[in-house]
Amino acid sequence: MSIFNELSELVIKGNIAGCKAKVQEAVDQGQDPTAILNEGLMPGINEIGDRFAKGQIFVPNVLLSAKAMNAGVEVIQPLLAGKGDTTIGTAVVATVKGDLHDIGKNLVALMMKSANLKVIDLGANVSGEKYIEAIKQYNPDVIGLSALLTTTMNEQGHIIQQLIDAGVRDQVKVMIGGAPVTQMWADRIGADAFTTDAAEAARWAKNYCTSKA
């Protein structure tokens, strides 16, 4: 088994200490930090995402795996970022007002940081007003609206309308996600992107920010 496969298994098992140690071992071997992320850590967390979507595992498993991956990312983050401020863009993420679920949003934030984006995490139960304040303060490239409940999906559309009313909608790309969210819903409310998982969200944001540069 390659060291990348070992890393994936440690993430899947939620082995926090083991994952951190194995990433350090990979670094000491001279493995490329990007490969450690993309070929070792990411496949593991993607597998966890797939299993969660199929109902094969539950929230505690996802949290443990996310923490294991985060422990590994912490080791290589300085190597990924290099020297100085080399972030490719800024993202503001949150779970929308009325929704206290933050696991998916936390994974998105983690993946975006791993993709070298500066991430402003506003937390859960966040109103449109707070998004508007963040846009004015941080001038982000993208914002993420997470909703894990069918009852809070409407808030995504409401927030986009608030951005329009405040005159800041054209300043950012709006990404939406969450278990009940679909591309059809994204089209209906005027979102710029819908992604099915955290890895895809990070890729979309990275590609957009890179294309702007």
Nearest CA among 204, 188, 194 for reference residue 145 = 194
How do residues 2-59 score in pLDDT, each as one tens digit?
999 999 999 999 999 999 999 999 999 999 988 898 899 888 988 887 787 788 998 7
Residues 6+ apart with CB under 8 A from 197: 46, 49, 53, 107, 177
Q: What percent of the chain has pLDDT over 70?
A: 96
Sheet with 193-194: strands ordered across: 117-121, 89-95, 142-146, 173-177, 193-194
Q: Do domains 3-81 and 89-212 have the same CATH topology?
A: no
Architecture of domain 3-81: Orthogonal Bundle (1.10)
Matching residue, tokens 């707070």: 130
Check residue 139 and give its pLDDT: 97
What pLDDT digit, counting tens, does each position of 89-111 carry? 999 999 999 999 887 898 788 77
**Domains in the chain: boundaries:** 3-81, 89-212
Class of residue 105 by CB neighbours under 10 A (exposed 0-12, middle 13-18, buried 19+): buried
List CB contacts of 105: < 8 A, sequence separation 6 or more. 93, 94, 95, 121, 124, 144, 146
Give the residue with greater pLDDT, 1 vs 84.
1
CATH architecture of 89-212: 3-Layer(aba) Sandwich (3.40)
Distances (CA, A) of 62 to 13, 31, 46, 143, 165: 10, 27, 10, 23, 37
Residues 6+ apart with CB under 8 A from 181: 147, 153, 156, 194
Q: What is the C-alpha end-to-end distance of the chain, expressed in Å?
A: 39
Angle at which helices 103-114 and 59-81 cross, to 10°? 20
The dihedrals phi and psi of 173, each to the nearest 5 degrees, come to -95, 135
